[in-house]
Amino acid sequence: SSNTQTVIQVDALVVGAGFSGITAIHRLREAGLTVKCMEASGDFGGVWNFNRYPGAGVDVEVPFYQLNIPEVYRDWTFSERFPGHEELRSYVAHIDKKLGLQRDTIFHATVNDASWDLHKGRWTVRTEQGHTASAKYLILASGLLHRIYTPDFPGLSNFSGDIHHSAAWNQNFSAKGKKIGLIGAGSTGVQLTQSLGKAAAELTVLVRRPGYCLPMKQRTLTPQEQHEWKRLYPLMLKAARESHVGFPVPATTKAALDVSKEEREQHWAYTWEQGGFSFGMQAFKDASRNKESNELMYQYWRSRVASRLTDPRKLEVMAPEQKPYYFITKRLPLEQDYYEVLNQDNVHVHDLSKIPLKSFTSNGLLMADGTEYEFDAVVLATGFDSITGSLTQLGVKDKHGVDLKTLWADGVKTYMGITISGFPNMFVVYSPQAPTPFVNAVTILEAQVELAVDIIKKMEEKGYKSIEATKEAESQWKKDLYAMTEGTLFPFTDSWWNNANVPGKKAEILAYVAGIKHYEAKCRSLVEGLQGFEVDFGREDGT
């Protein structure tokens, strides 16, 4: 085929066509570079292209979950405060139409090899389908939550019913009249419980650790109100970018232990009513550092849940008196009627922390105490081989030919999250070792794309051949990252935020917990003088 003959020649090659890849295409074009994007699937949208299970939607509210590109947001309106997956795909199609992304995107192009040609000073990138591209710059935008994680459950293949992972949903599957087992209580498990609980004859939710859900306070939005707000979008999105987690909320300057019980409860009630992540984002300043403050916050949360989840046995699983992990240290799912659905007679809750799963059987699940559940279908909301999983499967080699997968086997190493020593002219966006896991995705990916493009612009202006992070800069970055979490409660909790959700993966701190504003300011100051980089100036005399 022609795939195998033509070498695609561009300034910059982008891997992945989700929000990060789309933003990279746009900003690189603006900088005057030629660009092509390779996408493994057949469409734009990344996670929204894959996550089509009933009830899938984003937990970030309008207008903050959209690209800060005026020609894109000018004539787009969302119908709800927290858009669902169908609408998000329409939004992505709208972006494509406005920016003409298709002309620079190659679908069904699964990158499985990339290597640096020292002489040419270029990357050669190959795909499973036979494409070859040559590019001066390589931008990896393969996403944090891309590779599906199915735990190695004993006897999984013995089950005679259907097994569905949330991120590979069979659109023909109907829950109506079925007995369903659902494993997982993260953001996905919560959304699936809400939808399946209403459709299934019986739903059994198997929970290892409950999510500490916050009230979403979903509502419909009119085009009129969005139109009014659009004048303020430049200010709002700028404020988001200058915030801690990507939303302009007032910082709480007080410690929970320094105020009266009344003041605490008033503050909590107020932020609870705002919905979304407000309760978490506006936590008292000692909540993620002081165990007592964290416990007070948890008990308040628990009392709110108890007022809705009235079945005491279910309550003890979903909001136990003794909290299984610290509040805020793991992603807080948003819910709409999760606790009401859990209260329903057709919805059952099984506590895996007390009675673990022994194995799948032909009819269902056998538990450690001998109980067997019979199911028509089992739904896995067990998450992803997240953060590093998508990057280490690309076959990207450093300048000595060593695969990133090998290099990261004993831990992630990056400089600013964006560059990696040994990988000249390669940039990772929406990456580990940045605020990425715990902040608004769009805000951080835009910041990272702009940082990467700024480095590229500097190089193009000066005619530099290549740039590479030094090993020293990399190890300093990791040290700084760890230092930031010192005194916080984050290191005590395992989850996908620290690569601890998949057995066998190296668990470590991967989030820059000082937040977006701090991160971007720090990176800007380093990028300014290309500090921490080795530059090949591309001159014979080596000056």
What is the contact surface with ligand NA7 in residues (CB under 6 A)?
A: 145, 151, 166, 183-189, 208-209, 331, 352, 381-383, 496, 501
Token digits of residue 487: 């005194």
Rounded least distance, CB 440 to ligand NA7, Å: 10
Helix (H, G, I), strand (E, B) or coil at 214: strand
Q: Which lies closer to ligand NA7 via its Cβ, residue 264 or residue 331?
A: 331
Q: Which lies closer to ligand NA7 via its Cβ, residue 160 or residue 353?
A: 353
**Cβ neighbours of residue 423 under 8 Å, at least 6 residues apart?**
116, 138, 396, 398, 399, 404, 468
Rounded least distance, CB 413 to ligand NA7, Å: 24
218, 59 in Cβ contact below 8 A?
A: no
Element housing 521 (H / E): helix 516-528
Q: Which lies closer to ligand NA7 via its Cβ, residue 63 or residue 186?
A: 186
Amino acid, single-letter form, for residue 188? T
Rounded to a whole number of angstroms, the CA Rg of the chain reads: 24
Q: Which lies closer to ligand NA7 via its Cβ, residue 386 or residue 466?
A: 386
Element housing 90 (H / E): helix 85-99
Strands 533-536 and 466-469, by their bridges, are antiparallel
Length of the chain: 543
Q: Which lies closer to ligand NA7 via its Cβ, residue 223 or residue 356?
A: 356
Q: Which lies closer to ligand NA7 via its Cβ, residue 145 or residue 444?
A: 145
Q: Which lies closer to ligand NA7 via its Cβ, residue 36 or residue 209?
A: 209
Directed axis angle between helix 233-241 and helix 516-528, to 10°? 80
Rounded least distance, CB 502 to ligand NA7, Å: 8
**Cβ neighbours of residue 209 under 8 Å, at least 6 residues apart?**
185, 324, 325, 330, 353
432, 388 in Cβ contact below 8 A?
A: yes
Rounded least distance, CB 183 to ligand NA7, Å: 5
Query: Would you say the C-alpha torsion 333, 190, 90, 168 has a positive or negative sign?
Result: positive
Q: Which lies closer to ligand NA7 via its Cβ, residue 209 or residue 302?
A: 209
Q: Which lies closer to ligand NA7 via its Cβ, residue 92 or residue 183?
A: 183
Task: Please state, in angstroms and rounded to a whole number, the distance separating the CA atoms of residues 212 and 331.
Answer: 8
Rounded least distance, CB 381 to ligand NA7, Å: 5
Rounded least distance, CB 163 to ligand NA7, Å: 14
Task: Please state, in angstroms and rounded to a whole number, the distance separating the CA atoms of residues 180 and 167.
Answer: 17
Rounded least distance, CB 70 to ligand NA7, Å: 27
Amino acid, single-letter form, for residue 9? Q
Task: Please state, in angstroms and rounded to a whole number, the distance separating the CA atoms of residues 195 and 108.
Answer: 31
Q: Which lies closer to ligand NA7 via its Cβ, residue 126 or residue 314?
A: 314
Task: Please state, in angstroms and rounded to a whole number, the distance separating the CA atoms of residues 154 and 359.
Answer: 5
Rounded least distance, CB 53 to ligand NA7, Å: 10
**Cβ neighbours of residue 530 under 8 Å, at least 6 residues apart?**
455, 458, 467
14, 440 in Cβ contact below 8 A?
A: no
